[in-house]
Structure 1
């Protein structure tokens, strides 16, 4: 009969139903947490410390001696390994955070202030490099920008006699402007000629180094009067960062500048229109250009700000750390270490601040490890390098710690009405 409908066989044309139940929402949340940047970074640090412990044990003389008769007395080898590792990392903690061997609390926290002192120029330089990263620029010219900034700030610092507040402010401004102009030159050349910023910053590092070296050997420029050494005069007291916690500690006012710079960088990248342009150009310069953003001007602006922040690190070196006169090595490798800090902090201001404190702790505690336990300082450098390596390879960390793989984003399904509208 035409009006009757044939029965449908079970499962013939009916919609397919998945026998696999949907994963609980809590599983997805846990997977997102375990695959988040914070957890990956913490696990990378822990894994690097484990490898560092292995290196400490292998290079320790007592462990090597006990390993010679391991099968006769394995407990001696295990005890030597424990003593080597615990002694090294105990010295690292006491040299970077708190020294329990000191008589008073104020003396015990001095290692923490040393950590913050080491971290101060690292953080501010990494903030500048991180901003360049967010725009898609690889600024590896921190050394040159720091040298130029230190020369500008130092010249103001020893050449003029001014009241304390005015003198310090002018010296800081001179250094920031010097670093900004040296970095802005890179952005200008890239915008106008298309030259690659990596080549430009490398070459300008050499230009700055030899230029400042020549000025430090030339009387009347940066060389101290009556001296034959390539060194500047000492900074005047009115141009020196005052001690933040008193003469007992080396931490100076520059750390407050670091906190302010971190807040400024966060506001710039996340709350300002210019920061939106920076992020847009960094994500896709072609799309940003189509959207009406002047990409060339953005490159110049980003490198000006980046160079100014990196230059502030040079200012802190010459007005806060080495106030008795500076040489061409005033940058102390901070310009390159800041790249590592910016990578570890994933170019986020808060992340850079935490990463800078961590590396400051490694620097302060590394010297304590070497002095107290005889651990080579190179092992700390290896640990720092491994941290960055693991941060750059999240799949390796997931494999080592058996973390769940991060699921691919689900595609949205269109309903019937949306499909019709799309057609």
Structure 2
């Protein structure tokens, strides 16, 4: 039994891989039930992703905001908080960047960093509201943060429509070129795909996520408070301040995702009829990645790749978007059901344990 447990630990990387495979198999069954060819569908998905440099670049662009929102959710999870308000923080990051990008006219080396910083702070402060409510009044952060999503949506729309709107349009005035963070040479290289510096910043944030939580004293305090607030309080840590700080940092990551959608992709902000959905997708990405930095990166690549490649499944194999979401949902289900995946792996791992015992 002990040997089997050790093998489970050593082969734990198999669990997400098998979970993804099982999810794809269930998706294939769903496609067969609907009269679609799963082999053609999956090949069409891969063709969509890699058939041209433009499609590959656009897939990277679709993955980038999921890295930010996935990190935001995972960071909060790791510190004992469930930040379900990443969607609102994402929108507030967009709004902060738009305000600076539209209203100010500065040299690029001041304008662009100021817009990024403002959007990040907007996202962090919006998340900190839920942290303050939890720390001071014991309000559950799930309830407060999800309600703040709606407030962020309507507040963002109000700011754009009242102060930033392009006359006769349902969008803001264009962001000044000095604030834009596109990469012109990479856009040309990727055949006009919308490439921007946010992709590189997202990768830096993955590294910062790891360094902050596991390589600093502050990270130890954040994790300690999340793991056991009473023990942390007994050890002399300021639990309430740490909760607010954790939510703020999580919101900064989410806000950066919104910043680069404005400064790197669109160059303006619309009056939104509904939320973008990146924040809620970030929950799935964090779950897929096991709330680890590298796991979030890989989860974002998988989730973003499936989402962008789904158009290839639709056009190449006639698979409707609802069936594509079944595939994604199946993958998430099996990733979340670690016990079920281990049950599938148990016979294989049991044989390995027996062979090791015989060898000894």
| Aligned counterparts of 1:32 and 1:324: Cα–Cα separation in 2 | 48
Correspondence for 2:14: 39
| Aligned counterparts of 2:204 and 2:139: Cα–Cα separation in 1 | 33
| Aligned counterparts of 1:246 and 1:144: Cα–Cα separation in 2 | 29
- Do the aligned partners of 1:152 and 1:174 also contact (CA within 8 Å) in 2? yes
- Do the aligned partners of 1:149 and 1:176 also contact (CA within 8 Å) in 2? yes
Distance 1:173 1:284, change over 3 A: same
Correspondence for 2:170: 230
The TM-score with structure 1 as length reference comes to 0.78
Structure 1 residue 405, shift from structure 2 partner: 7.6
| Aligned counterparts of 1:389 and 1:39: Cα–Cα separation in 2 | 16
| Aligned counterparts of 1:60 and 1:388: Cα–Cα separation in 2 | 24
- Do the aligned partners of 2:88 and 2:148 also contact (CA within 8 Å) in 1? yes
| Aligned counterparts of 2:58 and 2:269: Cα–Cα separation in 1 | 21
RMSD: 2.0
Distance 1:33 1:389, change over 3 A: same
Correspondence for 1:15: none
- Do the aligned partners of 1:213 and 1:230 also contact (CA within 8 Å) in 2? no
- Do the aligned partners of 2:98 and 2:268 also contact (CA within 8 Å) in 1? no
- Map Cα deviations across residues 23-62 of structure 1 (whole Å, 9 max, x no partner): 8x6x66533333x1x211111100000011111112126x
Q: Among residues 170, 191, 199, which one is paired with 2:114 in the alignment?
A: 170
Distance 1:242 1:268, change over 3 A: same
Higher mean displacement: 293-302 or 206-215: 206-215
Distance 1:403 1:365, change over 3 A: farther
SS of the residue corresponding to residue 164 of structure 2 reads coil
Higher mean displacement: 173-182 or 365-374: 365-374
Listed as ranges, the matches of 1:28-107 within 5 Å are 29-34=6-11, 36=12, 38-60=13-35, 84-96=37-49, 98-99=50-51
- Map Cα deviations across residues 312-336 of structure 1 (whole Å, 9 max, x no partner): 1110111122224433258521011
| Aligned counterparts of 1:191 and 1:29: Cα–Cα separation in 2 | 40
SS of the residue corresponding to residue 371 of structure 1 reads helix
SS of the residue corresponding to residue 294 of structure 2 reads helix
Correspondence for 1:240: 180
Correspondence for 1:200: 144
Structure 1 residue 89, shift from structure 2 partner: 0.4
The TM-score with structure 2 as length reference comes to 0.91
| Aligned counterparts of 1:403 and 1:391: Cα–Cα separation in 2 | 19
* Larger Rg, first or second structure (1 or 2): 1
| Aligned counterparts of 1:112 and 1:240: Cα–Cα separation in 2 | 22
- Do the aligned partners of 1:398 and 1:405 also contact (CA within 8 Å) in 2? no
SS of the residue corresponding to residue 219 of structure 2 reads helix
Distance 1:325 1:213, change over 3 A: closer
Matched pairs, number: 346
Structure 1 runs not aligned, ≥5 long: 1-21, 62-83, 100-107, 407-423
- Do the aligned partners of 1:262 and 1:350 also contact (CA within 8 Å) in 2? yes
Structure 2 runs not aligned, ≥5 long: 351-360
Distance 1:377 1:233, change over 3 A: same
Distance 1:197 1:28, change over 3 A: closer
Correspondence for 2:57: 113
- Do the aligned partners of 1:127 and 1:262 also contact (CA within 8 Å) in 2? yes
Listed as ranges, the matches of 1:140-219 within 5 Å are 140-218=84-162
| Aligned counterparts of 2:269 and 2:116: Cα–Cα separation in 1 | 16
